[in-house]
Amino acid sequence: MRLLLVIFSLLMASPSTEVDLDMDEYLYGHVRDSYEWHITTINGKPVSIPLPVIVISKAGGGAHIFSSHHLEEGEYKGFSIATSGKYANKIVEKGSDGAQIRPWDFSITKNVLGLMINSAILVLIILLTARWYRKHDAAEEAPAGGTGIMEMMVTMVEDDIIKDCVGEDYKRYSPYLLTAFFFIFINNLMGIVPFFPGGANITGNIAVTLVLALFTFFTVNILGNKHYWKDILWPDVPTWLKVPIPLMPVIEIIGMFTKPFSLMVRLFANILAGHFMILGVIAVIFLTAKMGAAVNGGLTVVAVVLGVFMDCLELLVAFIQAYVFTMLSAVFIGLSRPKAETD
């Protein structure tokens, strides 16, 4: 197997591929959102799936829906993809003064399509699992196979995370937390798969983790009981910490926002870092292509071994991050429902 890889890498090192690798473009191009789904490049020609662009002009050009392949050549209906500046790699239009303006951009980008595909897979899996319970008397028999695995995972999340962290009325929160867990988990997993329909860096995108964190934030603060609000606005500390300068309430209110913020950044940074690491390891193969067959071959073996290791690590991280996000959400929810102090 390794020998094959070495031979393969030797073939790759032929003079015709001697082009400088743009490391920044390589790394960011793989992790950022885009208007088309790049699959591969054959003979210098990119093979990609064009995706629908949905934009509403801010300069009065109206709403437009068109395929993203029109943007490959440059401007289309006044819209183009910025190559540099504040809006690099985003669709921009020209304002009346010639400056770049970002229109309302609701395009089905790579991440949006990835989200749709992954969500469809998730919904399918869960509904198929639920269908088994609808057709069978679960009190009489236990599921086997895929349903059994799903039951095991659902039970694990419910028993280990939700029941323990939320406390008494966990049933009310269990659907949200389970959805969050499986949503993050499947998107993490699909992010590791290197080809279509995987490979979109979804949970490593800050917009996605921001929405997830906001869901937790609103769940915590809308459903929090009056003791929770009392602990924030009038905590049990010496009075001079609350009046005249409301030191503790201010800290508590900042805490309200730092909790979901930490959720957002943790998931985003972990997944993004994982993608960067794998990309970096694989980049070694291409960076050493000019150094001759021996060096390139040796380092390719190292890179592949490391890549396998990193992928295994990422599988672990995919699970751990879903677990951690769900657990911390459950903990925050649990904290938002304290019981009256019994004294």
Measured from the CB atom, is 31 or 232 closer to other proteins?
A: 31
Q: Residue count at the site for other proteins (CB under 8 A)?
A: 52
Query: Are 191 and 198 a contacting pair, CB within 8 Å?
Result: yes
Binding other proteins (rule: CB under 8 A), the pick from 76, 79, 183, 217 is 183
Binding mask 220-259 for other proteins (x = CB under 8 A): ----------------------------------------
149 binds other proteins (CB under 8 A): no
Smallest separation (angstroms) from other proteins to the CB of 86: 9
Binding other proteins (rule: CB under 8 A), the pick from 47, 104, 229, 291 is 104
Binding other proteins (rule: CB under 8 A), the pick from 9, 68, 107, 300 is 107
Smallest separation (angstroms) from other proteins to the CB of 145: 15
The piece of 149-157, 191-199, 224-232, 299-307 that touches other proteins (CB under 8 A) is 149-157
289 binds other proteins (CB under 8 A): no
Measured from the CB atom, is 120 or 312 closer to other proteins?
A: 120
C-alpha to C-alpha distance for 326 and 167, rounded to whole angstroms: 14
C-alpha to C-alpha distance for 89 and 24, rounded to whole angstroms: 13
C-alpha to C-alpha distance for 238 and 201, rounded to whole angstroms: 48
CA distances from 195 to 157, 167, 199, 290 (A): 29, 41, 6, 27
57 binds other proteins (CB under 8 A): no
Terminal-to-terminal C-alpha distance of the chain: 69
106 binds other proteins (CB under 8 A): yes
Binding other proteins (rule: CB under 8 A), the pick from 48, 68, 90, 192 is 90
261 binds other proteins (CB under 8 A): no
Three-state secondary structure readout of 181-223: HHHHHHHHHHHHCCCCCCCCCCCCCHHHHHHHHHHHHHHHHHH
329 binds other proteins (CB under 8 A): no
Binding other proteins (rule: CB under 8 A), the pick from 92, 166, 272, 322 is 272
79 binds other proteins (CB under 8 A): no
210 binds other proteins (CB under 8 A): yes
Residue 73, both tokens: 């050549």
Query: Are 17 and 287 a contacting pair, CB within 8 Å?
Result: no
321 binds other proteins (CB under 8 A): no
Q: Which residues contact 12 (CB under 8 A, 6 or more apart)?
A: 285, 289, 296
Measured from the CB atom, is 113 or 289 closer to other proteins?
A: 113
CA distances from 207 to 4, 92, 147, 179, 265 (A): 41, 19, 32, 18, 11
Cβ atoms within 10 Å, residue 276: 17
Binding other proteins (rule: CB under 8 A), the pick from 19, 130, 241, 295 is 130
Q: Which residues contact 287 (CB under 8 A, 6 or more apart)?
A: 21, 23
Query: Are 147 and 132 a contacting pair, CB within 8 Å?
Result: yes
Place of tokens 């209110």: 253
Give the footprint of other proteins on this chain (CB under 8 A).
28, 31-33, 54, 88-90, 104-109, 111-112, 115-116, 119, 122-123, 126-127, 129-130, 133-134, 138-139, 142, 150-151, 154-155, 158, 171, 174-176, 178-179, 182-183, 205-208, 210-212, 215, 272
